[in-house]
C-alpha cells in the first residue's frame, strides 16, 4: 500500500562514484531500513522496496543532481524522512533536498529528458578540443559501439548529443559542458562522448543537472484531486 512518494535529490562524491547501480539501490534500501521508514513493497512472489532512481550514472562520474523516488507505506514529514535517512547513507552520498510527489505522477525515469555534465581534463590542447567539438556538432551521424562484457551495441552517438561547449581553458585544463539526451532507450553516456572527443582517461566528469519533463499545473491539480478521492 502506497501512502506517500518522496523525491530525494542527492550528490555523489568521489568516495561513492564507483558504486554500481545495484549497489546504490542497496545503499538506499539499507538506509531506509536503518532509519525505520516503512517503505512500500511491490507485489509478487519476491516483494521488494519501491525505490526508483531517475537515470543511471556511469561509474567514476560524480554528481550534484541525482534523483530517487521512494514510496512509503506510512506517510511522514518530508524533512523528517531526510533527517532520518542521511546518517545511514555511505560516505560520499549527500542528501541535498526532498520534495513530496503525487503517488500517481509519472515515474521519475520516464520524465527525464536530458542531462548536463561538466568535464575537466588536464594537459589538453584547447584548440584541438574545440575542433573536435565543432566536427561532432556538424556531423549528421556518428556510428559508434558500446562494449559491455561480451555484448556489443551499435548506435548513433550524434543523435544523442544536444549541445557541447568549451566554456573555459586555463593552464592546460579544458572544461567542456555536455548536454546529452537521457530519455528511456535514448541515453548518451558522458564517458563515451568524452572518448569520442579524444579526451584522455585523465579526466573528471560530473553530472550537474537532470532536466525532467514539466507536468502542466492543471494536470498536477487533477491528479491530486484524484488521489484525495481514492483515500
Domain that holds residue 12: 4-105
pLDDT computed for residue 224 by the predictor: 43
Q: Would you say residue 227 lies in a domain?
A: no
Last residue within a domain, chosen from 78, 105, 132: 105
CA contacts within 13 A on the Cβ side of 195: 11
- Tell whether 101 and 166 lie within a shared domain: no
* DSSP E strands, the chain: 4-12, 51-53, 62-72, 93-101, 112-122, 143-148, 151-156, 161-170, 173-183, 186-187, 203-212
| Structure-block grid coordinates of residue 230 | 481514492
Torsion of CA 149, 154, 157, 159, to 10 degrees: -140
Domain count, the chain: 2
Please check whether residue 218 lies inside any domain of the structure.
Answer: no
Rounded to the nearest angstrom, the gap between the alpha carbon of residue 80 and the centroid of all alpha carbons in its chain is: 24
For residue 135, pLDDT over 70 is answered with yes
Please tell me whether residue 71 adopts helix, strand or coil conformation.
strand
Convert the pLDDT of each residue in 148-190 to its tens digit: 667 787 889 999 999 999 986 656 677 899 999 999 888 999 9
Instruction: Name 157's Cβ contacts closer than 8 Å, sequence gap at least 6.
Output: 142, 143, 144, 188, 192, 193, 196
Q: Return d(Cα 86, Cα 31) in angstroms, integer.
A: 8
pLDDT at 170: 58
Q: For residue 160, give the CATH number of its domain.
A: 3.30.70
Tens of pLDDT, residue by residue over 64-120, are 999 999 999 999 999 999 999 999 999 999 999 999 999 999 999 999 999 999 998
Same domain, 116 and 206: yes
Q: What pTM did the predictor assign?
A: 0.86
In 3-state terms, the chain is what percent helix, strand and coil (to 5)?
Answer: 30, 40, 30
Domain end (from 105, 133, 156)? 105
Amino acid at each position: 500500500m502506497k501512502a506517500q512518494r518522496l523525491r530525494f535529490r542527492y550528490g555523489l562524491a568521489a568516495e561513492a562514484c564507483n558504486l554500481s547501480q545495484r549497489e546504490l539501490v542497496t545503499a538506499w534500501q539499507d538506509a531506509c531500513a536503518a532509519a525505520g521508514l516503512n517503505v512500500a513493497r511491490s507485489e509478487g512472489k519476491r516483494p521488494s522496496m519501491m525505490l526508483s532512481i531517475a537515470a543511471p550514472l556511469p561509474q567514476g562520474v560524480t554528481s550534484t543532481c541525482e534523483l530517487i523516488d521512494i514510496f512509503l507505506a506510512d506517510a511522514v514529514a518530508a524533512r523528517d524522512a531526510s533527517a532520518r535517512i542521511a546518517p545511514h547513507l555511505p560516505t560520499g552520498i549527500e542528501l541535498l533536498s526532498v520534495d513530496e510527489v503525487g503517488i500517481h505522477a509519472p515515474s521519475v525515469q520516464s520524465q527525464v529528458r536530458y542531462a548536463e555534465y561538466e568535464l575537466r581534463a588536464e594537459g589538453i590542447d584547447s584548440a584541438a578540443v574545440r575542433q573536435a567539438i565543432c566536427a561532432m556538432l556538424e556531423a549528421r551521424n556518428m556510428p559508434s559501439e558500446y562494449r559491455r562484457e561480451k555484448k556489443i551495441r551499435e548506435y548513433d552517438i550524434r543523435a544523442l548529443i544536444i549541445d557541447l561547449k568549451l566554456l573555459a581553458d586555463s593552464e592546460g585544463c579544458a572544461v567542456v559542458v555536455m548536454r546529452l539526451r537521457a530519455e528511456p532507450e535514448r541515453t548518451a553516456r558522458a564517458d563515451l562522448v568524452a572518448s569520442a572527443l579524444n579526451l584522455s582517461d585523465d579526466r573528471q566528469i560530473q553530472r550537474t543537472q537532470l532536466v525532467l519533463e514539466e507536468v502542466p499545473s492543471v494536470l498536477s491539480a487533477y491528479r491530486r484531486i484524484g488521489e484525495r478521492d481514492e483515500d
